[in-house]
């Protein structure tokens, strides 16, 4: 009987490894500068969440024995921002190799929140139902503001359609649920291609990460920065890489990682109280990120 159980366990393990290799081959073929071995080393876990087209949304957790901080890092919210997912995978490797003595952080990565957009031909900013996930979060007055903003400020840009209602999309609902269950002290959302650093939330923001300098562009109805940083009081660092199709150099990605660690050590305290509202006036800016 034991040998039968051992055989079954081995069979499941081999099947899981083969499936993971296939997924990683697909990501390596799609993302700039991502090697299949690098993806496999990320130890992706099925988050039991699916995209509109049924694709798995994967996570990767790096957790010390006694974490004092929880950080959620998101890549690929917009499927055509391929560099954002590539950098998330690279940062997973850096988190796995964090040196002893650094802050005890539980890192949770979602390297490709919008797999349908990422694997579309060509890749698309929106998900499979044509919704911009970064306009689909339940910010206050979403019903009043989101469509007006879409029509008047974006000229009905189909790449920025907020959806029919907040959290209408399974990918946005998954991230919303992660914020409730994981309870991050910090959210880092990686985008492209504007080449700036943005921030929403209740603390002094980082002035720079690598070559990206702080330029707070304002808030948008339904955006993650508005919902997480302004409405829920969770600091949201938004990284806008300078190129959507080309990942930064490894030296630059490492520099941004080190600057993030330094800022976290200086500024990041206990998790903020849920529901905290801050008065942040939106600026007159283009509809990004």
Domain boundaries, the chain: 43-267
pLDDT for position 271: 44
What is the CATH superfamily name and number for domain 43-267? Zn peptidases (3.40.630.10)
261 phi and psi angles, rounded to 5 deg: -60, -45
What's the pLDDT tens digit per position in 6-24? 544 333 333 445 556 899 9
Query: Which residues pair with residue 204 across a beta bridge?
Result: none
- End-to-end C-alpha distance for the chain, whole angstroms: 57
CA distance 220 to 176: 17
Q: What is the pLDDT of residues 216-241, one digit of tens each?
A: 888 899 999 999 999 999 999 999 99
Q: What is the pTM of this model?
A: 0.87
Average pLDDT, the chain: 88
Burial classification of residue 30, based on how many CB atoms lie within 10 Å of its CB (0-12 exposed, 13-18 middle, 19 or more buried): middle
CB 38 within 8 A of CB 90: yes
Determine the Cα–Cα distance for residues 207 and 22; give it in Å rounded to an integer. 40
Whether 274 shows a pLDDT value over 70: the answer reads: no
Helix or strand run (H / E) with residue 186: strand 186-191
Query: How many helices (H) does the chain have, and how many strands (E)?
Result: 8, 9
On the question of a cis peptide bond just before residue 122, with omega within 30 degrees of 0, the verdict is yes
Measure the CA–CA gap between 66 and 95, rounded to whole angstroms.
15
Spatial neighbors of 183 by CB under 8 A, at least 6 apart, are 70, 271
């Amino acid at each position: 009987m034991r040998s039968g159980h051992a055989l079954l366990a081995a069979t499941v393990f081999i099947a899981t490894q083969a499936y993971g290799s296939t997924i990683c081959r697909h990501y390596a073929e799609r993302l700039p500068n991502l090697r299949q071995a690098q993806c496999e080393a990320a130890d992706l876990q099925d988050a039991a969440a699916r995209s509109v087209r049924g694709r798995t949304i994967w996570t990767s957790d790096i957790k010390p024995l006694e974490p004092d901080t929880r950080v959620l890092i998101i890549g690929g919210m917009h499927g055509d921002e391929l560099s954002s997912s590539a950098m998330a995978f690279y940062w997973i490797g850096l988190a796995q190799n964090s040196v002893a003595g650094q802050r005890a952080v539980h890192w949770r990565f979602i390297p490709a929140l919008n797999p349908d957009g990422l694997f579309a031909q060509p890749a698309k900013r929106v998900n499979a139902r044509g919704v911009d996930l970064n306009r689909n979060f339940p910010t206050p007055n979403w019903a009043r503001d989101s469509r007006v903003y879409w029509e008047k400020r974006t000229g009905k840009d189909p790449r920025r359609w907020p959806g029919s209602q907040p959290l209408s999309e399974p990918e946005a609902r998954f991230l919303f649920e992660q914020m409730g269950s994981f309870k991050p002290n910090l959210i880092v959302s990686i985008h492209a291609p504007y080449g700036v650093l943005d921030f929403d939330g209740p603390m002094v923001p980082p002035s720079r990460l690598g070559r990206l300098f702080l330029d707070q562009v304002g808030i948008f109805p339904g955006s993650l920065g508005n919902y997480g940083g302004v409405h829920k009081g969770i600091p949201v660092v938004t990284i806008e890489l300078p190129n959507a199709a080309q990942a930064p150099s490894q030296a630059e990605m490492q520099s941004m990682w080190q600057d993030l660690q330094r800022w976290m050590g200086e500024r990041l305290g206990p998790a903020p109280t849920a529901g905290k509202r801050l008065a942040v006036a939106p600026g007159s800016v283009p509809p990004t990120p």
